């Protein structure tokens, strides 16, 4: 039941003062007395100290091939049967020593050089950018001109150099020059004179 006249408590109660937050790790040693009494030493076997050399797969593969093995399973069985290890001299010879680095070598990305303030005030970078843009536009125009070049045809040549117009010749055949009219469409002689006088 809720207490009368008090708001509901929607929180957890805190643990006591002897509560330890986090992981509790029990002490395995006996403290100062055990440290003074005796020393804990680790006994290493001589077998552990001997480094196990890596397998000599080249020799084992050669032997498996001579024995007539072809599949991966047969090769694995051969490896288990004849575990040939590499010699210590070969490993020490193949192991590379430390890299010889130059004395003045710096590791990481080199810092960018500081931008001179004088060039910024003079708008030098803007001018350089404008020159680059102008050179780019000129190069683009040259490319478009090269693309626009079309092969000359007879039509284009005639448009550039039109042929001269033919002059009308007033030469007629001599037997057709003094031939009178055979048909008169005018009403009379006076009308005929009037038309030719106009």
20 class by beta-carbon count within 10 Å (0-12 exposed, 13-18 middle, 19+ buried): exposed
- Helix crossing, 57-67 with 72-81: angle to 10°? 110
- In 3D space, the residue among 63, 53, 60 whose CA is nearest the CA of residue 94 turns out to be 53
pLDDT of residue 21: 82
pTM, 2 dp:
0.26
**Size of the chain, expressed as the number of residues it contains:** 198
pLDDT of residue 79: 92
Which residues of the chain, if any, have pLDDT below 70?
1-2, 25-31, 33, 38-51, 90-98, 198
> Is residue 78 within 8 Å of residue 63, measured between CB atoms?
yes
pLDDT of residue 176: 72
pLDDT of residue 134: 96
How far apart are the C-alpha atoms of 119 and 125, rounded to whole Å? Answer: 7
């Amino acid at each position: 039941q809720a207490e009368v006249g008090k708001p509901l408590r929607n929180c957890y109660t805190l643990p006591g003062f002897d509560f330890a937050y986090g992981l509790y790790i029990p002490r395995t040693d006996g403290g100062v007395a055990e440290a003074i009494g005796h020393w804990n030493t680790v006994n290493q076997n001589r077998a552990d100290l001997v480094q196990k050399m890596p397998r000599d797969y080249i020799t084992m593969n050669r032997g498996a091939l001579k024995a007539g093995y072809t599949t991966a399973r047969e090769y694995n069985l051969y490896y288990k049967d004849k575990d040939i290890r590499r010699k210590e001299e070969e490993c020490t010879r193949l192991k590379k020593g430390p890299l010889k680095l130059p004395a003045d070598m710096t590791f990481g990305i080199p810092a960018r050089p500081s931008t001179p303030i004088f060039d910024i005030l003079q708008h030098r970078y803007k001018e350089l950018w404008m020159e680059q843009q102008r050179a780019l536009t000129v190069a683009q125009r040259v490319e478009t001109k090269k693309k626009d070049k079309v092969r000359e045809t007879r039509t284009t040549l005639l448009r550039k150099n039109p042929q001269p117009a033919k002059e009308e010749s007033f030469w007629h055949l001599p037997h057709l020059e003094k031939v009178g009219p055979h048909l008169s469409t005018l009403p009379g002689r006076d009308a005929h004179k009037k038309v030719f006088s106009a």
